[in-house]
Amino acid sequence: MDELFRLALLEDIGSGDATTRSVIPPGLKGSAVVFGREPFVLSGSKPLRRIFELLDPEIRTECPFPDGEQIAPNVAAFRIEGRVRTILTGERTALNFAQRLCGIATLTRKMSDAITGTGCKLLDTRKTTPLWRSLEKEAVRHGGGRNHRFGLADGILIKDNHIAAAGGITEAVRRAREGAPHTLRIEIEVENMDQLDEAISAGPDIVLLDNFTLDMLRAAVAIGKGRVVLEASGGVSLETVRAIAETGVDFVSCGALTHSARAIDLTMEFSV
């Protein structure tokens, strides 16, 4: 992560912060607080702290709340103390990380709360910002969601293009059983009820029901519940997730948690 943070700082600072170096004396000390203009779930405290530390090891960054805490508007979530030049130079990069990760955690919390009591569990996907995956998946956990596989090595997910290239569902599952390590679970994506019947017969561990209607999901649960783990995906939003979960599926996965979460409006106020 340090390499990612260094590259982000280099992108913003380049050869130097011309404004701060022109306006602020080198030895001036001060402090600043970061707060949200709206309610949010905290995430990204470690990246924010580390970004300032990479600029100046003597900087002090305090956060009175744990990641995953619900924070009210205008409540100081972070306090930064040290050289004013450091605080001002690192401000935008640090806030960019924090506001993005808080946005993911906040959306995840809303969706997780929406399916409370259904027995269904909320999953993320691999639809993440390149090189931010570990941070964004951690933010999902801070929001109360669960992580799907981190990368391609972590599990077998046979999708439509794999099925087409392998010659069908049954053959794809057979090859996976023969060629994969026994520690990896096998999941296969299906798009209709005929494919569901074939998939269950082929013997995967999990069936991903892709873009099924609510009626189709209920029918799939009636057929597959107890025989195979069922995951619903496609068309999942804050408005639809409760109805999807109430069909009886075991999991609902949502790419929007990471690819469409709105950044939280965080701001820094400074005092010398």
> Catalytic residue among 50, 79, 92, 175, which?
92
**What does the alpha-carbon distance between residue 230 and residue 226 come to, in Å, rounded to a whole number?**
9
Known catalytic residue at 246: no
Known catalytic residue at 2: no
Known catalytic residue at 138: no
Cβ contacts of residue 161 below 8 Å, gap of 6+?
Answer: none
Provide the strand spans (E) within 138-272.
Answer: 156-158, 186-190, 206-210, 229-233, 251-253, 266-271
**Residues 210-240 as b or e (16 or more Cβ within 10 Å = b):** bebeeebbeebbeebeeebbbbbbbbbeeeb
**What does the alpha-carbon distance between residue 120 and residue 144 come to, in Å, rounded to a whole number?**
13
Known catalytic residue at 11: no
> Catalytic residue among 127, 177, 185, 218, which?
127
Task: Scan for tokens 């026994």, then name that residue.
Answer: 182
> Catalytic residue among 138, 189, 231, 250, which?
189
**Which residue, among 140, 128, 97, has the nearest Cα to 264 in the 3D structure?**
97
**What does the alpha-carbon distance between residue 184 and residue 119 come to, in Å, rounded to a whole number?**
24
Residues carrying an active site annotation: 92, 127, 159, 189, 210
